[in-house]
Copies of this chain bind each other. A is one copy, B any other.
Amino acid sequence: MDNCETCLVRNRAICSALEPDELRDLSRIGRTIGIEKGETVIWEGDDAPIVANVVEGMLQLSTSTSDGREQIVGVVYPSDFIGRPFGATSGNSVTSLTDARLCVFTRAAFDRFAQDHPKLEHELLTRTLSELDRARQWLLFVGQRSASERVASFLLEMSRKLSRETCIAAPVPLDRFDLPLGRRQIADILGLTIETVSRQLRRLRDRKIIDVPGRRTIEIQDRNALEHESGRD
């Protein structure tokens, strides 16, 4: 791998559990790759040969029923870990929503490395436990939230995530930002149709809670109202 010292997610990814010399060993078995929007890096049901850290970008995890319906089961951001170590086949596909960069390892090499480094395994365990909690939060979202709540929550989440990425020191949510996703992708993530997303955005605009000057630009005009709409998570 190129250079862990300058890595954007050095302190937030699983690597943070390792000492400098261990990190060097790990870096020997990995490499970073760039992937472009829309690419699928792991296929559901496959005995996926890789695992990876997300360095940059935004990817979706999706599962589908035998008759073709698809459900987004999660979204991952920089410093998140993707793939299924330790033998089992991956239960979901991983597709990039934006251009992205990953720090990938062959699963075999990663598994071996993990077995020898309990600290890494422990870190992976706590992360997986958190991931499980997030998945269950998502369940609440999909199972209980109305369309308007979903759209409002989504906008707030994006406002947070986008500020985070640009400036680590000051995670102040942005009131104006460009969506990195199209309506189709937003709709998929929220489990709605693009028409419903569009209508909800218009409703929020009519009520002067947000403004949508360009199709991809969002300006939050009344944050409190938006939080209220979201069901105050």
- A-to-B contact residues, CB < 8 Å: 61, 63-67, 69, 71, 73-74, 84-86, 88, 91-92, 115, 118, 121-122, 124-126, 128-133, 135-140, 142-145, 191, 231-233
**CB <8 Å contact, B140 and A139:** no
Sample of 21 A–B contacts (CB below 8 Å): A63-B139, A65-B145, A65-B231, A66-B231, A66-B233, A69-B144, A84-B133, A88-B133, A91-B136, A92-B133, A115-B122, A118-B118, A118-B121, A124-B125, A128-B128, A128-B129, A132-B132, A132-B135, A135-B136, A139-B139, A139-B142
**CB <8 Å contact, B86 and A191:** no
B residues in contact with A233, CB < 8 Å: 65-66
B residues in contact with A125, CB < 8 Å: 86, 121, 124-125, 128
**CB <8 Å contact, B130 and A66:** no
B residues in contact with A130, CB < 8 Å: 88
Among all A-B residue pairs, the 9 with the closest Cβ atoms = A91-B133, A73-B136, A135-B135, A118-B118, A125-B125, A71-B143, A142-B143, A71-B140, A128-B128
**CB <8 Å contact, B142 and A132:** no
A73–B232 Cα distance when bound, in Å, is 20
A126–B12 Cα distance when bound, in Å, is 22
B residues in contact with A74, CB < 8 Å: 136
Beyond the given pairs A86-B129, A132-B135, 20 more chain A to chain B contacts, judged by CB atoms under 8 angstroms and listed by A's residue number, are A61-B136, A63-B139, A66-B231, A67-B231, A67-B232, A71-B139, A71-B144, A84-B129, A84-B133, A88-B126, A88-B129, A91-B137, A92-B133, A118-B121, A121-B122, A128-B128, A128-B129, A135-B139, A143-B143, A143-B191
B residues in contact with A66, CB < 8 Å: 231-233
A145 shortest CB reach to chain B, Å: 8
A136 shortest CB reach to chain B, Å: 4
Residue of B nearest to A69 (CB): B144
B residues in contact with A73, CB < 8 Å: 136, 139-140
B residues in contact with A121, CB < 8 Å: 118, 121-122, 125
Set B64, B122, B126, B128: member contacting A132, Cβ < 8 A: B128
